[in-house]
Amino acid sequence: MWQSGLVAMLLFVSSQNHAGTEADVTVHGDRPGPIIHREIYGQFAEMLGRGIYGGIWVGENSSIPNIHGYRKDVVEALKAIKVPVIRWPGGCFADQYDWRDGIGPRDKRPARLNASWGGEESNQFGTHEFMDFAELIGAKTYLSINVGTGSPREMSQWIEYITADGHTSLAQERRANGRDKPWKIDYVGIGNEMWGCGGSMRPEFYADVYRQYATFLHSPNDTPIERIASGANADDVGWTDKVMSIAGSQIDGISLHYYTIPTGEWTHKGSATHFDEAEWMSTLQGAMHMDELIAKHSAVMDKYDPKKRVALVVDEWGNWMDQEPGSNDPALYQQNSLRDAVSAAITLDIFHAHADRVRMANIAQMVNVLQAMILTDKSKMVLTPTYDVFDMYKVFQGATYLPVDVQGPVYRYGNASVPGVHATAGRDASGVVHVALVNLDPHQADTVRVRLSGIKGTSVQGRVLTAPAMTSINTFDQPHVVEPKVFDGAKFGDGVLTVALPSKSVVVLDIR
Ligand code: AHR
């Protein structure tokens, strides 16, 4: 968890001050960078609030249309954005989870207290339900295992239960519970936030515990499991340094958690829907801070891993606002506005620019929790503006990163400022170049000249996401207020692409 310290300086409200209305973006097709790993478009689904129950899982006997218990509408929506990987079951929940509670006949599973988030955990959604869900939507699997209150033995037995072929008792138990073939686990997180809810450990101690767990983590021979160490809270590069120095050789990825809190205060984080321009600005500054964080952690990792074998895995990120007022929801239900879309686009751009080190990321969270893709209310479902960005940006999954230079206006509010225009680019396997442009300024449209260096493009098409207000949201009654539309504001002329970029918008162009 992290709180932004950026807000104090935003308390002044100055008159709007716009330094310009034009920007120049150069896309370097002649200097291709690394692959943008699909997994940076990953998601996080924790056993909390209505993230799983009601959001993903309604059970086979529900009147809500479902596929073997999974909401049909949610499954279809997630398939459409090509979710590459899902992290489960936590979060803080993971370090108190006993996997044995979630296997076997559902009517025999024990209810437990959800000590992390309140209420009771029915365990109706367990290992089989998670692994089948990932299979259903075509996603890789990322299991967070219990280090805080578990043991290496519990971990290795869980992994054997899921992945063993042959005739061991655990493989037979899985078969008796209805799954013949082993599943594939792609990633295992060895604990979560071990500096906090995972056990309040010091990095030296955790690094030794990590080594112990990593020793007993046995991958099936033909399908190696990547081992992700529990990493730092935001700016805490000291954690990354210690863990890398002590356990680096046994680590495949080390995580980073970073949330943007508009006010910078946990006791009053700021409303997801009723905010002013100061909080628009502080949220976008919070998103921009990801760039500095990745650079700092990556530099520390370079000391121990100059060839960048170890990935930086940003397995929790997003905007954390006050819980939706008046809702009866349990934990962490928040609405999602155009502001979330713009900040998500900035963050994804930053991941692209660090694609050499950032090879997985998992937005928090998938459904009904924090900066969600999808909100549900009984049988109703609505796609959020953040979903729309993941939909528009899916063309970057697996593309080759193309460096971009941006020269443009500065967007200022009070004493705060951010670049007015943010951009990213990639070339997909079929040769199509995709360019995303984000206008951070809520008032000022921009004319963006896009120079395509080493790219032979003659035709352009695209989509735009914007809305009447910074605070525009989709609701169950009005689900189409913020949604992508065909964009006709980009034109080729004299070898330059000129783009009329609306204020507070995200545009993704396909150039052929
Ligand atoms: O995403 C919600 C919580 O935030 C997670 O459980 C925890 O890891 C983090 O602090």
8 Å CB contact between 210 and 244? no
Q: Whose CA is nearest to atom 10 of ligand 1?
A: 1
Average pLDDT over residues 12-24: 53
Average pLDDT over residues 10-19: 33
What is the atom index within ligand 1 of the atom nearest the CA of 332? 2
Average pLDDT over residues 83-98: 98
* 312 has pLDDT over 50: yes
* 33 has pLDDT over 50: yes
Average pLDDT over residues 83-90: 98
Average pLDDT over residues 484-511: 95
Condensed to tens digits (0 to 9), the pLDDT of residues 245-275 reads 999 999 999 999 999 999 999 999 999 999 9
Specify the pLDDT at position 329. 60
Specify the pLDDT at position 86. 99
Specify the pLDDT at position 222. 81
Q: Band of the pLDDT at 21, cuts 50, 70, 90?
A: confident
* 188 has pLDDT over 90: yes
**How many A from CA of 422 to the centre of ligand 1?**
28
Within 13 Å, how many C-alpha atoms sit on residue 308's CB side? 13
pTM attached to this predicted model: 0.95
- Annotated catalytic residue within 46, 129, 193, 279: 193
* 215 has pLDDT over 90: yes
- Report the C-alpha gap between 482 and 511 in whole angstroms: 24
Question: Does residue 362's CB lie within 6 angstroms of at least one atom of ligand 1?
Answer: no
What is the atom index within ligand 1 of the atom nearest the CA of 91? 6
Question: Does residue 364's CB lie within 6 angstroms of at least one atom of ligand 1?
Answer: yes
Q: In the numeric block, which tokens belong to residue 496?
A: 């330059």
**How many A from CA of 148 to the centre of ligand 1?**
14
- Across the chain, mean pLDDT equals 94
Question: Does residue 193's CB lie within 6 angstroms of at least one atom of ligand 1?
Answer: yes
Cα torsion 149, 126, 368, 294: sign: positive
Specify the pLDDT at position 325. 84
- 129 a catalytic residue: no
Average pLDDT over residues 72-84: 98
Condensed to tens digits (0 to 9), the pLDDT of residues 334-372 reads 999 999 999 999 999 999 999 999 999 999 999 999 999
Closest CA to 347 of 325, 376, 381, 371: 371
Helices (H), 106-151: 127-137
Q: In the numeric block, which tokens belong to residue 52?
A: 């799983």
8 Å CB contact between 420 and 411? yes
Question: Does residue 91's CB lie within 6 angstroms of at least one atom of ligand 1?
Answer: yes
Give the strand order in the sheet containing 490-493: 404-407, 22-28, 446-453, 496-501, 490-493
- 154 a catalytic residue: no
* 328 has pLDDT over 90: no
Average pLDDT over residues 422-441: 98
Q: In the numeric block, which tokens belong to residue 399?
A: 């593309």
Q: Band of the pLDDT at 494, cuts 50, 70, 90?
A: confident
Q: Band of the pLDDT at 13, cuts 50, 70, 90?
A: very low
Give the range among 145-154, 327-336, 431-440 with minimum mean pLDDT. 327-336
**Burial environment of residue 222 by CB neighbours within 10 A (0 to 12, 13 to 18, 19 or more):** exposed
**How many A from CA of 334 to the centre of ligand 1?**
15
162 membership: H or E segment, kind and range: helix 152-163
Name 19's Cβ contacts closer than 8 Å, sequence gap at least 6. 409, 410, 412, 420
Name 380's Cβ contacts closer than 8 Å, sequence gap at least 6. 476
Specify the pLDDT at position 480. 98
Closest CA to 149 of 92, 200, 96, 102: 96
For the chain, percent of residues with pLDDT exceeding 70: 95
Average pLDDT over residues 276-293: 98
3-state secondary structure of 93: helix
Q: Band of the pLDDT at 495, cuts 50, 70, 90?
A: confident
